């Protein structure tokens, strides 16, 4: 599906990123593997080459413009062009808000949100220079769609990434560029900090399959996520843009865009008393849930 294409995947030394890199390479693309861990990045690249694929590495933290430029430059110098950019790199600094430091907040936003921005900008610039479109996939998270206790920084970054994807899709559609947010759910070390999933993550790391109940509920392995990514990077997905698409286990989901769930009007404007009455009679029944449903198998 991806023959003769070149794709950059940030944070691809481990976990979901590694699964993405291997799947994209298996589909025929040359891959630029990025990670802050040189050994991890080279191990993924070496495996791709051993399997008959093409890979290069860029060892650098995502966030700075210099890294984004280096990723695009490596793709062009090593493989002649850039066809896809996947902004997967990320990290966690989980703490409840009263215990979260400025550094905890800034580092997560720098890597996830600013890293997605700088890499997206560099990729779009290259796509426009080439003149034949491109594929941009920004990686979100259910934590950006629903509450995630102890992850104020991460939730803010991931919600921002989905909003960014919609706007970039609008800005680049005329250039044949698609921009989508991938919202994966997988049993990796990044979700092992969630007590409900810790045991299942440990089992998967031991080589055991994800429990069928979790798979049916949309929670599986990193490898379960990769096929949707391959599709989004392919020519077959030319008509898919501006979307937030979830995947996990046996399930693919299309997330809704934010929309007005209810409204009330009052000629001449509002008083606080009238607002209270409107909530009691018209609006409260439409208030939205904000916490996620945890599959029974993980409770």
If you search the block for the tokens 């023959």, which residue do you land on? 3
Strand segments (E) across 99-185: 134-139, 177-184
Q: What is the dihedral of CA 61, 59, 33, 241, to 10 degrees?
A: 30
Helix axes 115-130, 152-172, angle to 10 degrees: 20
Query: Which one from 20, 79, 117, 154 is the annotated catalytic residue?
Result: 154
- The CA–CA distances, whole Å, from 204 to 22, 186, 208, 209, 269 equal 18, 10, 5, 6, 57
Return left, alpha or beta for 127; rule: phi > 0 is left, psi -120 to 50 is alpha, else beta: alpha
Residue with tokens 């900090």: 193
For helices 115-130 and 65-79, the axis angle rounded to 10 degrees is: 40
Distances (CA, A) of 279 to 62, 259, 263, 288: 45, 18, 10, 13
Judge contact between 180 and 163, C-beta under 8 A.
Answer: no
3-state percent helix, strand, coil for the chain, nearest multiple of 5: 50, 15, 35
Q: Cα–Cα distance between 66 and 82 in angstroms, integer?
A: 17
Whether 154 sits among the annotated catalytic residues: the reply is: yes
Q: Which of 46, 230, 68 is closest to 57 using CA atoms?
A: 46
Q: Which residues belong to the active site?
A: 154
């Amino acid at each position: 599906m991806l023959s003769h294409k070149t794709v950059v995947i940030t944070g691809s030394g481990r976990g979901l990123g590694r699964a993405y890199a291997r799947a994209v390479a298996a589909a025929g693309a040359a891959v630029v593997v990025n990670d802050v861990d040189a050994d991890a990045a080279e191990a993924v690249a070496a495996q791709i080459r051993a399997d008959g694929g093409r890979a290069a590495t860029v060892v650098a933290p995502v966030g700075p413009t210099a890294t984004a430029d280096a990723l695009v430059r490596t793709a062009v110098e090593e493989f002649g062009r850039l066809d896809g950019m996947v902004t997967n790199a990320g990290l966690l600094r989980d703490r409840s808000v009263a215990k979260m430091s400025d550094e905890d907040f800034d580092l997560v936003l720098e890597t996830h949100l600013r890293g997605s921005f700088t890499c997206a900008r560099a990729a779009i610039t290259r796509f426009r220079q080439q003149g034949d479109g491109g594929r941009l996939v920004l990686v979100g998270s259910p934590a950006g769609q629903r509450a995630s206790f102890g992850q104020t920084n991460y939730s803010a970054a991931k919600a921002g990434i989905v909003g960014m994807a919609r706007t970039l899709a609008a800005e680049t559609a005329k250039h044949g560029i698609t921009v989508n947010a991938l919202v994966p759910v997988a049993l990796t070390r990044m979700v092992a900090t969630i007590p409900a999933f810790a045991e299942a993550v440990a089992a998967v790391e031991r080589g055991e399959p994800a429990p069928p109940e979790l798979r049916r509920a949309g929670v599986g392995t990193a490898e379960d996520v990769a096929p949707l990514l391959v599709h989004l990077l392919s020519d077959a997905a030319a008509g898919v843009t501006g979307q937030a698409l979830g995947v996990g286990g046996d399930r693919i989901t299309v997330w809704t865009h934010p929309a007005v769930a209810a409204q009330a009007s009052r000629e001449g404007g509002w008083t606080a008393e009238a607002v209270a009455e409107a909530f009691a009679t018209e609006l409260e029944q439409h208030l939205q849930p904000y916490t996620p449903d945890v599959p029974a198998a993980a409770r």
